[in-house]
Amino acid sequence: MYRDDLERFKEFKAQGVAIKFGKFSVKENKQLEKNVEDFLALTGIENADKLLYTDRYPEEKSVITNLKRRYSFRLHIGRNIARPWKLIYYRAKKMFDVNNYKGRYSEGDTEKLKMYHSLLGNDWKTIGEMVARSSLSVALKFSQISSQRNRGAWSKSETRKLIKAVEEVILKKMSPQELKEVDSKLQENPESCLSIVREKLYKGISWVEVEAKVQTRNWMQCKSKWTEILTKRMTNGRRIYYGMNALRAKVSLIERLYEINVEDTNEIDWEDLASAIGDVPPSYVQTKFSRLKAVYVPFWQKKTFPEIIDYLYETTLPLLKEKLEKMMEKKGTKIQTPAAPKQVFPFRDIFYYEDDSEGEDIEKESEGQAPCVAHACNSSTLGGQGRWII
């Protein structure tokens, strides 16, 4: 924490405002734009690029630095934004970086990117400066073009590689000593079971690392496919978003979104909202909401988030309820309550391969890497004494 944050945080606490992390809301972005514009007007600095990327202007660097210090740049830029100063600063640099708005890459741009990467490796900051793009832009573009990526349906081999890759990346977060202890305990007692906290199955995963291990898909494809696999395994393969269940889920989702009454999607606790559908990862619910507004809300791109929710609640919800009631009456069934989210899962119930023989081949290929604890764990002993949670 920066020293400037302490006093700001005390003020926010006194006002009953919680410190936020994660994606910035529309309201926060507008406030940040105002803070930057106000500081430029106060100091006379010509533009945001000079303010936030002072190193690009060596002849004016000394003057700009002195102005930033004299007028308390850190305090001004963070005004009325309940976040750590460092996060606000990074967000401002991303918003006002002129190199973020260069449009599509031409063939020439792409070839230059490949050439510079062959010389400099993953030094995205330097490469970005050489091609006049942001470091984030060049890193994402190179991820898309670095090798031939498959499209369409995933093969069994690719799916096995993905599951293996996610498992290894999660286990990599454990210290060598922890891995050694787990491996030793499982060797001593093969009937033991390793379990994992649900959040670790989808939070904090390095998708760049996963992409490198899978090789045939980019990180976005890997993340999307993992959400699909994880949802199926967390729900034991139940069709939770099909037929009557889909109608029930849509009704519950709209009602919950209306109840929480927020101004922006970034204020939604998707983890909590997931229970409206069942025991599923947050990204699954986000995907369903995106589909819901695209299908039922006309011109949703031009509406604010509250307007979208109001439309769904006032116009779409009654139609969905009517359809659900007719379907229930016809089939003579009642609405089933979604399964409560489990906080811990047996490792083996998540990380397994559809074809055991092929899974064994993958294990042989990965000698010397993190132990494949999923295959040494017997989920039937979950309630027994030999249970370790990571």
Residue 138, domain CATH: 1.10.10
DSSP 2-68: -HHHHHHHHHHHHTTPPP--SSPPHHHHHHHHHHHHHHHHHH--S-HHHHH-GGG-TTTHHHHHHHH
Residues 213 and 266 grouped into a single domain = no
Residues 186-209 pLDDT 10s: 666 655 567 888 888 998 888 888
Q: Is residue 379 part of a domain?
A: no
Residues 85 and 135 grouped into a single domain = no
pTM of the model: 0.62
Residues 164 and 139 grouped into a single domain = no
Give percent of the chain above pLDDT 70. Answer: 83
Q: Is residue 69 part of a domain?
A: yes
Q: Is residue 119 part of a domain?
A: yes
Determine phi and psi for 344, rounding to 5 degrees: -135, 140
Give percent of the chain above pLDDT 90. Answer: 29
CB burial readout 70-103, b (16+ within 10 A) else e: eeebbeebbeebbbbbebbbebbbeebbebeeee
Determine phi and psi for 247, rounding to 5 degrees: -65, -45
Please provide the average confidence, as pLDDT, over all residues in the chain. Answer: 82
CA dist., res. 42 & res. 158, Å (int): 56
Q: Is residue 385 part of a domain?
A: no
Q: Is residue 388 part of a domain?
A: no
Residues 221 and 253 grouped into a single domain = no
Residues 66-103 pLDDT 10s: 999 899 898 899 999 999 888 899 889 888 887 766 67
Residues 90 and 28 grouped into a single domain = yes
Q: Is residue 17 part of a domain?
A: yes
Environment class of residue 53 by beta-carbon count within 10 Å: exposed (0-12), middle (13-18) or buried (19+)?
Answer: middle
CA dist., res. 10 & res. 269, Å (int): 24
| Residue in the block written with tokens 């006049």 | 132
Q: Is residue 218 part of a domain?
A: yes
Residues 268 and 319 grouped into a single domain = yes
| Residue in the block written with tokens 């269940």 | 245
- Count of domains in the chain? 4
Q: Is residue 210 part of a domain?
A: yes
Residues 259 and 321 grouped into a single domain = yes
- Residue-number span of the structural domain to which 296 is assigned: 243-337
Environment class of residue 142 by beta-carbon count within 10 Å: exposed (0-12), middle (13-18) or buried (19+)?
Answer: middle
Q: Residue 194's beta-bridge partner residues? A: 388
Residues 50 and 111 grouped into a single domain = no
Can you point out the beta strands (E) in 30-128? Answer: none
Strands 193-197 and 344-346: antiparallel
**pLDDT at residue number 20:** 85
User: Which tokens belong to 390?
Assistant: 């990571």
Residues 116 and 141 grouped into a single domain = yes
Task: Report the SS3 class of residue 388.
Answer: strand
